[in-house]
């Protein structure tokens, strides 16, 4: 069982080594769901669409109660440049708006939609979202700003988890030209396999989306980065990308390879400045699922209404990769996968390293939900927190070369001079330090608190 | 209330109990279980096994007696002092045992029982608990305890205290290699130094045992290799320089490295994570400092050996080293926002 196949980094024609300094190797646990082909969920009776599913300003509703809406209709419009509209993910009628608290702690307004009688379902839905033919030539007919506008109108956000509005990255900036589009298929979070299944089963839309994104951003070079624990996905992508400008880079399997600040040096040997963006080094990074959604938005004119979610972990009866409408509840999704096992202890939105725990299974799945990981008491068994013995293990694993124990201490005692001296704001909260800490100190939590409290 | 409603109410809690209770906690939700603080302490004890074996061979029962005295005293001291601070007593973490063992191995075989006992109480009480317990102390507790007894009982820890003329054990009747070098200009062979058939503190005589245990500690990364690397580099460089400028017949760099408490100190004492710097670079600098001070004390002071004082002095410099070696984050330093 274990690993799929041993492979090594392959980066033909690229300056990177396929690796970055430090980081950790948590158990991958991808075998739980990696062989489960993407399934389509039966249409739900209701969806609840949050008006804020992205990083940025929340949407304003553009529908009223009792309005009839169709799949893909805009129901909330973006209110600023860094914002993304939201759309109906089923056919139905609008119910009373309400509020919900998302797993990341944000309290947001929602628009519930009650399902109507006829719905696009099953294979028809799957083929509309991901299947069919995806052109790799003749894409010049889409002008760069046309692609960016389509991304914005489709409500496209980063599907890797951070949910940053995609059109912001694709709009050309004369002052900061882009030369490389990096499509992120690393999926370094343990357990999660949604990007893997997408690349394996539907590499077509990923390649088309990559070509379109590069055209929009003005990038000459297009690279898809895939960790070497997913050789089947790399092969499928290589085949689909044949004859196009898209290159496949196989990088080492190491957490957090999927982070922008790790994958860019690993592939391109460029360092993103602290506090800056990949754009500062001429790179735009989008996730493979985002690329596929961009292809659907531009070529088929469809909004981002569905996504692939991995439902996995020892606390789930039947781990699966599921194509779900945005706004479905965690409860329904978990029930579709056989429900929780009796020893389930923690439901996580995302993977175990950077995911947030879900307190209420009635909350909706959003655009940024890449997975639902359910851990058991056995997974979470751990020694109690003890004093820091300054062993420096956190320093040895921090991919950004910070000193987490000092940052945690500074945050704890609210010593902001010390926090600044040790570069608290550079922390990306990847969790390598807390994963490693022999004293079980909640380093990430402390630093997160410090970042929120520190006067800027 | 109807009967049916009552029934439902009775059943409701049952149904809830059947569903798993979900917990909420901050991430990450995965953690490495390969290392805990307790495991680190037991790693040190495990790494001391070759040292114990070499010491048992050379000093026989004296080793066992000193170990028992120091480890039991350390546990007692830990219990007593933490109880006085009204803090939970955490002797299960094994840190007191490590302090006791390191102290025992740094004492001469014939030191009276109260030397080890007083040393342990000072090590734990003044060296550690007063600062706030595990992880808070500035100075290496075992070395602080040893420094205290060395000054309090100079007769039992000075160079002459190591020599027991009428001892049944052969090794004990001779002066330590560094003393013979300093006072008589006599050399000790490399092989006895390597194997540990010389006189000295209980744990320091065998270079081989220290290298074996030290390799284990470094491979487990319980000890950071940067520290012994720094110490050995500094000692080798200075000894090499001295050998070139003012050669002593038969005394080489290897003699300098294998004699005294150098390797024991490099692998087991200076590597105490609490009292050494945090970053790899800082650790190497710390090692260089310890090594340089050892050579300074060995060559220019009245003492034949200087590992203890070198470690204690460098402990005091650790906060400074940490300041000097704040690593630059990947991507450079965050620029202050212009407001």
Burial class (CB in 10 A: 0-12, 13-18, 19+), B300: exposed
Mind spelling out the 3-state secondary structure of chain A? CCCCCCCCCECCCCCCCCCCCCCECCCCCHHHCCCCCCEECCCCCEEEEECCCCCCCCCEECCCCCCEECCCCEEEECCCCCCCCEECCCCEEECCCEEEECCCCCEEEEEEEEECCCCCCHHHHHHHHCCCCCCCCCHHHCCHHHHHHHHHHCCCECCCCCCCEHHHHHCCCCCCCCCEEEEEECCCCCCCCHHHHHHHHCHHHHHHHHHHHHHHHCCCEEEEEEECCCHHHHHHHHHHCCCCCEEEEEECCCECCCCHHHHHHHHHCCCCCCCCCHHHHCEEEEEHHHHHHHHHHHHCCCCCCEEEEEEECCCECCCEEEEEECCCEHHHHHHHCCCECCCEEEEEEECCCCCEECCCCCCECCCCCCEEEEEEHHHHCCCCCCCCCCCCHHHHHCCCCCCHHHHHHHHHCCCHHHHHHCCHHHCCCCCHHHHHCCCCCCHHHHHHHHHHHCCC
**B250 Cβ partners below 8 Å, 6+ apart?**
B187
Q: Looking at the predicted structure, is the pLDDT value of residue A105 above 80?
A: yes
Adjacency order of strands within the sheet including A344-349: A39-40, A320-325, A306-312, A371-376, A344-349, A356-357
- A414 at interface of B, judged by CB pairs closer than 8 A: no
Q: Looking at the predicted structure, is the pLDDT value of residue A6 above 70?
A: no
* Dist. CA A272–CA A281, nearest whole Å: 6
Q: Looking at the predicted structure, is the pLDDT value of residue A345 above 50?
A: yes
- B133 at interface of A, judged by CB pairs closer than 8 A: yes
Among chain B residues, CA nearest to A420 = B334
A430 and A186 Cβ atoms separated by less than 8 Å: no
Q: Looking at the predicted structure, is the pLDDT value of residue B236 above 80?
A: yes
* Dist. CA A223–CA A291, nearest whole Å: 12
By three-state DSSP, how is residue B336 classified? coil
A61 and A75 Cβ atoms separated by less than 8 Å: yes
CB spacing of A448 vs B26 below 8 angstroms: yes
Q: What is the pLDDT of residue B287?
A: 97
In A, which residues are within 8 Å of B324 by CB distance? none
Interface test with A, best of B331, B332, B333, B338 (most A CBs within 10 A): B331
Residue B138 token pair: 């500035």
User: Using one digit for the tens of pLDDT, what is the confidence trace for B317-329?
Assistant: 999 999 999 999 9
B124 and B71 Cβ atoms separated by less than 8 Å: no
User: Using one digit for the tens of pLDDT, what is the confidence trace for A51-99?
Assistant: 999 999 999 999 999 999 999 999 999 988 999 999 999 999 999 999 9
**Residue carrying the six token digits 């579709």:** A336
Q: Chain A closest CA to B3's CA: distance in Å?
A: 30
Residue A226 token pair: 């895939």
Q: Chain B closest CA to A439's CA: distance in Å?
A: 5
B267 and B217 Cβ atoms separated by less than 8 Å: yes
Residue B119 token pair: 């040393």
Among chain A residues, CA nearest to B272 = A391
The mean pLDDT of A203-222, rounded to a whole number, is 96
Q: What is the pLDDT of residue A251?
A: 96
User: Using one digit for the tens of pLDDT, what is the confidence trace for A111-150?
Assistant: 999 999 889 988 999 999 998 899 999 999 999 999 999 9
Instruction: List C-alpha distances in Å: A238 to A4, A244, A252.
Output: 18, 10, 17
- B90 at interface of A, judged by CB pairs closer than 8 A: yes
Q: Looking at the predicted structure, is the pLDDT value of residue B8 above 60?
A: no
Among chain A residues, CA nearest to B224 = A391
- A277 at interface of B, judged by CB pairs closer than 8 A: no
Specify if B330 maps to a domain: no
Q: Looking at the predicted structure, is the pLDDT value of residue B11 above 60?
A: no
A172 and A181 Cβ atoms separated by less than 8 Å: no
Specify if B225 maps to a domain: yes
In A, which residues are within 8 Å of B276 by CB distance? 390
Q: What is the pLDDT of residue B1?
A: 43
When the pLDDT of each residue in chain A is averaged and rounded to a whole number, the result is 93
Q: Chain B closest CA to A123's CA: distance in Å?
A: 33
What confidence tier does B176 reach under pLDDT thresholds 50, 70, 90?
confident
Specify if B269 maps to a domain: yes
The segment(s) of chain A belonging to CATH 3.40.50.11540 are 30-37+125-299
Domain holding B146: CATH number? Answer: 1.10.3430
User: Using one digit for the tens of pLDDT, what is the confidence trace for B131-155?
Assistant: 988 899 999 999 999 999 999 998 8
Count structural domains, chain B: 1
- The complex scores an ipTM of 0.86
Residue A172 token pair: 């050309």
What confidence tier does A266 reach under pLDDT thresholds 50, 70, 90?
very high
When the pLDDT of each residue in chain B is averaged and rounded to a whole number, the result is 88
- A58 at interface of B, judged by CB pairs closer than 8 A: no
Helices B307-324 and B280-300: angle between axes, nearest 10 degrees = 150
Q: A38-47, A215-224, A422-431, B178-187: which has the minimum mean pLDDT?
A: B178-187
The topology under which CATH files domain A306-380 is: Ubiquitin-like (UB roll) (3.10.20)
- B38 at interface of A, judged by CB pairs closer than 8 A: yes
- B58 at interface of A, judged by CB pairs closer than 8 A: no
Q: What is the pLDDT of residue B14?
A: 42
- B273 at interface of A, judged by CB pairs closer than 8 A: yes
User: Using one digit for the tens of pLDDT, what is the confidence trace for A276-316?
Assistant: 999 999 999 999 999 999 999 999 999 999 999 999 999 99
- B27 at interface of A, judged by CB pairs closer than 8 A: yes
Q: Which of A26, A276, A421 sits opposite B326 (nearest CB)?
A: A421
In A, which residues are within 8 Å of B277 by CB distance? 392
* Dist. CA A196–CA A4, nearest whole Å: 12
The mean pLDDT of B274-299, rounded to a whole number, is 96
The mean pLDDT of B8-20, rounded to a whole number, is 51
The mean pLDDT of B93-122, rounded to a whole number, is 94
Q: Which of A21, A271, A346 sits opposite B29 (nearest CB)?
A: A346
What confidence tier does A343 reach under pLDDT thresholds 50, 70, 90?
very high
Q: Which stretch of DSSP H or E encloses residue B4?
A: helix B3-18
- A358 at interface of B, judged by CB pairs closer than 8 A: yes
CB spacing of B327 vs A401 below 8 angstroms: yes
By three-state DSSP, how is residue B328 classified? coil
Q: Looking at the predicted structure, is the pLDDT value of residue B309 above 90?
A: yes
Specify if B304 maps to a domain: yes
The topology under which CATH files domain A46-120 is: OB fold (Dihydrolipoamide Acetyltransferase, E2P) (2.40.50)
Q: Looking at the predicted structure, is the pLDDT value of residue B21 above 50?
A: yes
CB spacing of B20 vs A392 below 8 angstroms: no
In A, which residues are within 8 Å of B331 by CB distance? 261, 271-276, 400, 426
CB spacing of A353 vs B332 below 8 angstroms: no
Q: What is the pLDDT of residue B285?
A: 97
B200 and B176 Cβ atoms separated by less than 8 Å: yes
Q: Which of A261, A352, A426 sits opposite B28 (nearest CB)?
A: A352
Q: Looking at the predicted structure, is the pLDDT value of residue A247 above 60?
A: yes
The mean pLDDT of A5-11, rounded to a whole number, is 68
Q: Looking at the predicted structure, is the pLDDT value of residue B216 above 50?
A: yes
By three-state DSSP, how is residue B215 classified? helix
Q: Which of B36, B278, B331 sits opposite A271 (nearest CB)?
A: B331
What confidence tier does A160 reach under pLDDT thresholds 50, 70, 90?
confident
Q: Which of residues 278-337 of A touch B (CB under 8 A)?
A: 315
Q: Looking at the predicted structure, is the pLDDT value of residue B261 above 80?
A: yes
Distance of CA A431 to the CA centre of its chain: 16
Q: Which of residues B161 and A206 earns the better pLDDT score? A: A206
What confidence tier does B301 reach under pLDDT thresholds 50, 70, 90?
confident
The mean pLDDT of B187-213, rounded to a whole number, is 90
What confidence tier does B10 reach under pLDDT thresholds 50, 70, 90?
very low
User: Using one digit for the tens of pLDDT, what is the confidence trace for A355-408?
Assistant: 999 999 999 999 999 999 999 999 998 878 888 999 999 999 999 999 999 999
Q: Chain B closest CA to A348's CA: distance in Å?
A: 8
Structural domain of residue B117, as residue ranges? 38-324
The mean pLDDT of A416-423, rounded to a whole number, is 94
Specify if B3 maps to a domain: no
Q: Chain A closest CA to B1's CA: distance in Å?
A: 30
* Dist. CA B296–CA B285, nearest whole Å: 16
Q: Which of A382, A401, A438 sits opposite B329 (nearest CB)?
A: A401
In A, which residues are within 8 Å of B333 by CB distance? 274, 423
Instruction: List C-alpha distances in Å: A116 to A119, A120, A300, A330, A363.
Output: 7, 11, 24, 21, 21
Specify if B100 maps to a domain: yes
Into which CATH architecture does domain A30-37+125-299 fall?
A: 3-Layer(aba) Sandwich (3.40)
Q: Looking at the predicted structure, is the pLDDT value of residue B187 above 90?
A: no
In B, which residues are within 8 Å of A373 by CB distance? 29
What confidence tier does B9 reach under pLDDT thresholds 50, 70, 90?
very low
What confidence tier does B128 reach under pLDDT thresholds 50, 70, 90?
very high
In A, which residues are within 8 Å of B32 by CB distance? 24, 26, 435-436
A24 and A353 Cβ atoms separated by less than 8 Å: no
CB spacing of B335 vs A399 below 8 angstroms: no
Q: What is the pLDDT of residue A228?
A: 93
Interface test with A, best of B16, B26, B27 (most A CBs within 10 A): B27
In A, which residues are within 8 Å of B133 by CB distance? 387
CB spacing of A357 vs B36 below 8 angstroms: no
CB spacing of B135 vs A390 below 8 angstroms: yes
Among chain A residues, CA nearest to B40 = A438
Q: Looking at the predicted structure, is the pLDDT value of residue B12 above 90?
A: no
Question: Considering only CA atoms, which of A176, A88, A134, A70 is closest in space to residue A294?
Answer: A134
Q: What percent of chain A has pLDDT over 70?
A: 98
Q: Which of A340, A359, A383 sits opposite B36 (nearest CB)?
A: A383
- B25 at interface of A, judged by CB pairs closer than 8 A: yes
The mean pLDDT of A218-238, rounded to a whole number, is 95
What confidence tier does B334 reach under pLDDT thresholds 50, 70, 90?
low
């Amino acid at each position: 069982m274990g690993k799929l196949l041993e492979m090594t980094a392959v980066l033909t024609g690229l300056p990177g080594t396929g690796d970055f300094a430090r980081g950790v190797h948590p158990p991958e646990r991808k075998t739980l769901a990696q062989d489960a082909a993407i399934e389509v969920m039966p249409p739900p009776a209701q969806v609840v669409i949050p008006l804020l599913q992205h990083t940025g300003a929340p949407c304003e509703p553009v529908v009223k109660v009792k309005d009839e809406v169709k799949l893909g209709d805009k129901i909330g419009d973006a209110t600023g440049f860094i914002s993304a509209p939201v759309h109906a993910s089923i056919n139905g009628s609008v119910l009373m708006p309400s509020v919900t608290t998302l797993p990341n702690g944000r309290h947001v307004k929602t628009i519930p939609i009650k399902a109507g009688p006829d719905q696009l379902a099953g294979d028809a839905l799957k083929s509309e979202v991901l299947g069919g033919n995806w052109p790799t030539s003749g894409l010049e007919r889409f002008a760069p700003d046309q692609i960016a506008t389509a991304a914005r109108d489709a409500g496209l956000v980063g599907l890797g988890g951070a949910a940053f509005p995609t059109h912001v990255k694709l709009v050309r900036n004369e002052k900061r030209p882009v030369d490389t589009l990096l499509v992120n298929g690393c999926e370094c979070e343990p357990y999660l396999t949604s990007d893997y299944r997408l690349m394996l089963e539907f590499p077509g839309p990923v390649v088309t989306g990559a070509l379109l994104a590069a055209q929009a951003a003005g990038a000459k070079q297009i690279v898809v980065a895939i960790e070497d624990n997913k050789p089947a996905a790399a092969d499928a992508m290589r085949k689909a990308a044949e004859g196009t400008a898209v290159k496949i880079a196989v990088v080492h399997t190491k957490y957090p390879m999927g982070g922008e600040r790790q994958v860019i040096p690993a592939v391109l040997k460029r360092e993103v400045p602290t506090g800056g963006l990949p754009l500062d080094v001429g790179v735009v990074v989008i996730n493979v699922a985002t690329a596929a959604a961009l292809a659907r938005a531009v070529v088929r004119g469809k909004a981002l209404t569905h996504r692939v979610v991995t439902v996995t972990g020892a606390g789930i009866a039947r781990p699966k990769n599921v194509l779900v409408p945005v706004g479905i509840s965690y409860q329904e999704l978990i029930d579709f996968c056989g429900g929780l096992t009796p020893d389930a202890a923690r439901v996580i939105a995302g993977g175990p390293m950077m995911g947030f725990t879900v307190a209420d299974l009635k909350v909706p799945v959003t655009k940024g939900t890449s997975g639902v990981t359910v851990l058991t008491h056995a997974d979470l068994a751990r020694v109690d927190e003890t004093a820091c013995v300054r062993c420096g293990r956190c320093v040895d694993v921090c991919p950004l070369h910070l000193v987490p124990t000092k940052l945690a201490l500074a945050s704890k005692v609210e010593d902001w001079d010390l926090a600044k001296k040790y570069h608290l704001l550079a922390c990306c909260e990847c969790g390598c330090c807390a994963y490693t800490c022999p004293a079980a100190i909640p380093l990430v939590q402390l630093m997160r608190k410090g970042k929120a409290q520190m006067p800027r | 209330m109807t009967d049916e409603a009552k029934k439902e109410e009775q059943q409701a809690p049952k149904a809830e109990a059947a569903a798993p209770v979900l917990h909420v906690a901050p991430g990450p939700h995965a953690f490495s279980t390969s290392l805990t603080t307790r495991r680190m302490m037991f790693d040190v004890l495990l790494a001391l096994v070759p040292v114990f074996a070499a010491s048992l061979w050379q000093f026989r029962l004296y080793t066992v007696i000193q170990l028992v005295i120091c480890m039991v005293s350390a546990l007692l001291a830990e219990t007593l002092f933490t109880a006085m601070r009204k803090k939970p007593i955490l002797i299960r973490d094994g840190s007191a045992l490590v302090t006791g063992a390191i102290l025992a191995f740094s004492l001469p075989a014939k030191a009276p029982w109260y030397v080890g006992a007083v040393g342990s109480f000072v090590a734990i009480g003044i060296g550690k608990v007063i600062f706030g317990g595990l992880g808070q102390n500035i100075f290496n507790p075992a070395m602080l305890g040893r420094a205290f007894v060395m000054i309090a009982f100079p007769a039992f820890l000075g160079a002459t205290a190591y020599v027991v003329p009428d001892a049944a054990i052969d090794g004990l009747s001779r002066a330590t290699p560094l003393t013979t070098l300093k006072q008589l200009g006599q050399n000790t062979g490399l092989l006895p130094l390597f194997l540990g058939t010389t006189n000295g503190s209980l744990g320091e005589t065998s270079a081989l045992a220290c290298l074996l245990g030290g390799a284990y500690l470094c491979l487990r990364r319980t000890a950071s290799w940067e520290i012994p690397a720094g110490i050995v580099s500094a000692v080798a460089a200075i000894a090499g320089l001295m050998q070139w400028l003012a050669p002593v017949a038969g005394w080489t760099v290897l003699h300098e490295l294998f004699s005294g408490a150098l390797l024991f100190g490099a692998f087991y004492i200076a590597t105490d994570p609490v009292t050494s710097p945090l970053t790899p670079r800082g650790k190497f600098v710390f090692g260089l400092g310890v090594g340089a001070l050892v050579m300074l004390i060995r060559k220019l002071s009245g003492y034949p050996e200087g590992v203890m004082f070198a470690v204690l002095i460098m402990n005091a410099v650790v906060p400074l080293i940490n300041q000097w070696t704040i690593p630059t984050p990947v991507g450079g330093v965050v620029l202050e926002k212009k407001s």
